[in-house]
Amino acid sequence: MHPICRRGVSDVPVLIPAAARIVRLFVSPGHNYVGHFGREPGTHPMLERAAVECVAGHGLVGDRYFRPDPEAKGQITFFAEEVHERLCTGLPEPVPPPSVYRRNVLTRGLDLTSLIGTEFVLQGIRFFGTEESRPCDWMDRAFCPGARTRLAGNGGLRARILSDGVLRPGSVHEPLRARAAA
Q: What is the pLDDT of residue 181?
A: 34
Q: Which fold has domain 2-6+14-31+46-171?
A: M1 Pyruvate Kinase; Domain 3 (2.40.33)
In the predicted model, what is the mean pLDDT of residues 126-146? 79
Q: Which is more confident, 151 or 96?
A: 96
Lowest mean pLDDT across 53-57, 62-66, 89-93, 141-145: 141-145
HEC string for the chain: CEEEEEECCCCCEEEECCCCEEEEEEECCCCCCCCCCCCCCCCCCCEEECCEEEECCCEECCCCCCCCCCCCCCCEEEEEHHHHHHHHCCCCCCCCCHHHHCCCEEEECCCHHHHECEEEEECCEEEEEEEECCCCCCHHHHCCCCHHHHHCCCCCEEEEECCCEEECCEECCCCCCCCCCC
**Whether pLDDT at 32 is above 50:** yes
Calculate mean pLDDT across residues 50-78. 94
Give CA–CA dist 172/107, Å, rounded.
Answer: 9
Which residues have CB under 8 Å from 146's CB, separation 6+? 140
How much is the average pLDDT of 77-98?
Answer: 86
Is the pLDDT assigned to residue 162 strictly greater than 90?
Answer: yes
For residue 33, what pLDDT band results from cuts at 50, 70 and 90? Answer: low
Q: Where are the domains positioned within the chain?
A: 2-6+14-31+46-171
- Binned at pLDDT 50, 70 and 90, residue 106 comes out as very high
What mean pLDDT comes out for the span 132-136? Answer: 81
Residue 138 has pLDDT above 80, yes or no: no
Mean pLDDT across the chain: 81
pLDDT at residue 39, as a whole number: 62
